[in-house]
Amino acid sequence: MKEPEIPDVAQECGTAPILSASIMAHPRRAENARRILAHLSPLRARIVFDPEPFGSPSTSRTARLAWRPWLRSATHHLVLQDDVVLHPRFVQQIQEAVASQPRAALSFFSEWGSFTSNALRVAALAGASWVSQPDTYLSTVAMVLPTRDAELASEFISQHPGDPDDECMGRFVQSRRMDHFVSNPNLVDHDVLSSLVGNGNHGVRRATNFVADTAAPATWWSTPPLDTPDRVPSLHWRTGTPSSYERSSEDAAVWTIAAQRDHWGESQPAISRIVRRSLEPLGFETRDIRFYNALLGAALVLCDQIALAATLDRRDGDFASLCARSAVHSLAPGTLRGVARNLGLDADSQEIERTFIDIYERVDALVRGSSAS
């Protein structure tokens, strides 16, 4: 029987994309996978189960099957993992998003403590709908490829059966010299289920900015992606240490962790005063100085991200503001969860989230005031 021809996405540009979808699933999560499948209508979708569910934990053996295109007419192929929570208007938004970037690899989830999450926060603060991903692995929780590339990705994963699918996809996209963008906002969240591949010690892994009750305007996705700046103010979720995540001057694909950079110059004392006064009502300075210092470092990184975003072409508006606030909300619980757990504390509290929003509003107003003058 003749194999179905895979459409060339280059010939499809300018027309509405046709998406097929695979949900990569473990039989223990069959009910979850069926729930996701029901919410994908009218997309053509199917569930792909782990072919060796009692074997050693692995994502690659299911991913190689999930990435194999199966719908002849599809221009793009979507792969979802079985522990995602879809935006209520997921299908509409992903079709609009893919139409705006038909040749790129697209991820619609960014784990809230990853280095990519910090780049995505800068994008959200600047009102950008896309940002290129700096991490060496690609978020495969919810990802789209042009169908021809999906076929090649399936073959590539098959050749590296022992590697995690996210690292494998990172190397694949790099080998193909494809653009890879992460969406602002994320269109899926991560459900709180026990890890099947040994990631339970990572703690809760939520989206960087999942705006559950509002859909992006149709024109939102059509703006040019933000090229990740060469230096991104960041924290590492295990230690909460402020740092600068930096692109290598010799190889643009290589990123390293460097010391925190100065983004404020002579204004730094004023910024520090705003942050300390905002943190004071939380009381951690007297209750637990270690956690107070972690919060202080995270808040100062947020201020550095605001400063960096202010140097970029900013897009304002109600939806841009909503995405920015969502990204700010997730900064403390995402990047300080390791520190908080070690101290027996909780970084995911409404008090802390409100405090970080307050810091964002004050510092952003200061930046905008300076720009206006």
Rg (CA), the chain: 21
> Do 104 and 249 belong together in one domain?
no
- Tell me the C-alpha distance between 73 and 80, whole Å: 20
CA distance 107 to 63: 15
Question: Is residue 173 assigned to a domain?
Answer: yes
pLDDT tens for 275-298 read 999 999 999 999 999 999 999 999
Residue 43 and residue 182 in one domain: yes
Within this chain, do residues 322 and 182 fall inside the same structural domain, yes or no? no
Q: Is residue 3 part of a domain?
A: no
* Of 80-84, 132-136, 159-163, 316-320, minimum mean pLDDT range: 132-136
Same domain, 343 and 362: yes
Q: Which of 6-20, 174-188, 211-225, 290-304 has the lowest mean pLDDT?
A: 6-20
> Range with the lowest mean pLDDT among 138-142, 188-192, 211-215?
188-192
Q: Is the pLDDT of residue 270 over 70?
A: yes
What's the pLDDT score for residue 203?
Answer: 59
Domain presence at residue 209:
yes
Question: Is 17 among the domain residues?
Answer: yes
Does pLDDT of 14 surpass 70?
A: no
Evaluate whether residue 37 is within a structural domain: yes
pLDDT band at 200 (very low <50, low <70, confident <90, very high): very low
pLDDT of 368 reads: 87
In a domain, 51, yes or no: yes
Whether residues 203 and 329 fall in one domain: no
* Same-domain check for residues 248 and 315: yes
Q: What is the pLDDT of residue 372?
A: 62
Domain total of the chain: 2
Tens of pLDDT, residue by residue over 101-138, are 999 999 999 999 999 999 999 999 999 999 998 887 78
Average pLDDT over every residue of 351-365: 97
Task: State yes or no: pLDDT of 6 exceeds 60.
Answer: no
Both tokens of 28, joined, read 């223990």
Beta-carbon-side half-sphere exposure of residue 115 (alpha carbons within 13 Å): 22
320-343 residue pLDDT tens: 999 999 999 999 999 999 999 999
* Interval 36-46 mean pLDDT: 96
For the cut 80, the answer to whether the pLDDT of residue 370 exceeds it is no
pTM for the whole structure? 0.91
Dihedrals phi, psi of 146, to nearest 5 degrees: -55, 145
> What is the model's pLDDT at position 205?
83
Decide if pLDDT at 29 tops 80.
yes
Q: Residue 219 corresponds to which tokens in the numbers above? A: 């024109």
| Shared domain check, 185 and 140 | yes
Instruction: Please check whether residue 107 is in contact with residue 294, taking contact to mean a CB–CB distance below 8 angstroms.
Output: no
> Of 189, 222, 255, which marks where a domain is finished?
222
Residues 6+ away with beta carbon under 8 Å from 167: 136, 137
pLDDT interval class at 201 (50, 70, 90): low
| Domain presence at residue 58 | yes
Q: How many helices (H) and strands (E) does the chain have?
A: 14, 12
Among 187, 222, 257, where does a domain finish?
Answer: 222
222, 246, 262 - which closes a domain: 222
Do 262 and 212 lie in a common domain? no
169 and 291 housed in the same domain: no
pLDDT at 161: 87
- Provide the angle, in degrees to the nearest 10, between the axes of the packed helices 289-310 and 115-126: 50
Are residues 316 and 188 part of one domain? no
Q: Is the pLDDT of residue 353 over 80?
A: yes
> How is residue 137 written in tokens?
């692995």
Q: Enumerate residues 6+ apart whose C-beta is below 8 A from 57.
A: 196, 197, 198
pLDDT surpasses 70 at 12: no
Which pLDDT belongs to residue 196? 47
CATH number of the domain where residue 53 is located: 3.90.550.10
Which residues, 6+ apart, have CB-to-CB distance to 371 below 8 Å? 310
Same domain, 212 and 292: no
pLDDT in tens, 163-176: 999 999 999 999 99
Decide: residue 239, CB within 10 A, 0-12 exposed, 13-18 middle, 19+ buried.
middle
Q: Is the pLDDT of residue 39 over 80?
A: yes
pLDDT, tens digit (0-9, with 9 covering 90-100), for 61-76: 999 999 999 999 999 9
pLDDT of residue 54: 84
The average confidence (pLDDT) of the chain is: 91
Percentage of the chain modeled with pLDDT above 90: 80
Same domain, yes or no, for 110 and 257?
A: no
In this structure, is residue 1 part of a structural domain? no
Segments forming the whole domain that contains residue 275:
231-372
pLDDT in the model for residue 4: 41
